[in-house]
Amino acid sequence: MTIIDLAEMPFYSICGEGTEIGKPAVFIRTFGCNKVPKCSYCDTSYSYEGKPITLTLSKLIKELDIISAKTQCRTLFLTGGEPTLQEEALIILLRYMHGAYTILQTNGTRFSPVLFGLVDELSVDVKGPSSGLQSNLSTESKIDRMFSHKKRQFKFVVSNTEDLAFAKWAMRQLTGTIILQPEANTLGIHALAQWVLADPDIARHDIRVLPQLHRILGVK
């Protein structure tokens, strides 16, 4: 019997980040995160603090079937915490959910090629200086080499010019779509947009400047 640890029960909401922004989806938020210490701007501490909700995969699938029947939504968004910590359970789940369009959000610290290969989109958070956990691009580079640029995106949370400089450096190492997103508590979307427009070295990449839409809408 395969089990999975969740931070909360599956829910239906609007994608708030990345190229899938604005898209309705059913969310699975797994419990647990391997980032120690945690990112300075983490807004989902409940996904690794306290006790998880432990379900059998059969129970989780029943919950997903109920939501899908009610909403007619076939987009499944896997987030956390860090979903790759529950790789085995998610691989089994994804093989069952073969008719759904699946998106996985990861912090880019664990390379899970089988899991990554089963999803339709990979959204990789690349941690900059202000996170306190700056990435060395080791895992991100593996993802970049192994998976099509149409399948993956690299997302940078920007709090200040130091974060933006790091993102510029990383853009030169990675290919495909780059998302620049302001850290909601320290930087506005307008300021970030102006920084990007003033810098030709950024504009020549395939980038998107996007807000955290779920915060604007007041949804999960």
pLDDT digits (tens, 9 = 90+) for 6-30: 999 999 999 999 999 999 999 999 9
Cα within 13 Å of Cα(212), Cβ side: 17
Q: Average per-residue pLDDT in the chain?
A: 94
Cα distances (Å, whole numbers) of residue 176 to 121, 156, 168, 170: 13, 13, 14, 12
Global pTM exceeds 0.75 = yes
Question: What is the rounded CA–CA span in Å between residue 103 and residue 76?
Answer: 6
Is residue 14 within 8 Å of residue 87, measured between CB atoms?
no
Q: Which two tokens stand for residue 3?
A: 């089990």
The CATH class that applies to domain 3-217 reads alpha beta
The one-letter amino acid code at 210 reads L
Is residue 35 within 8 Å of residue 107, measured between CB atoms?
yes
Q: How far apart are the first and last CA of the chain?
A: 30
Domain range annotation of the chain: 3-217
Q: Give the model confidence (pLDDT) of 142-171 as tens digits.
A: 999 999 988 999 999 999 999 999 999 999
Strand-pairing partners, residue 76, are: 26, 102
Strand-pairing partners, residue 3, are: 56
pLDDT of residue 36: 73
> pLDDT of the chain along its 220 residues, tens only?
899 999 999 999 999 999 999 999 999 999 999 987 789 888 899 999 989 999 999 999 999 999 999 999 999 999 999 999 999 999 999 999 878 999 999 999 999 999 999 999 999 999 999 999 999 999 999 999 999 988 999 999 999 999 999 999 999 999 989 999 999 888 999 999 999 999 999 988 999 999 989 888 888 8
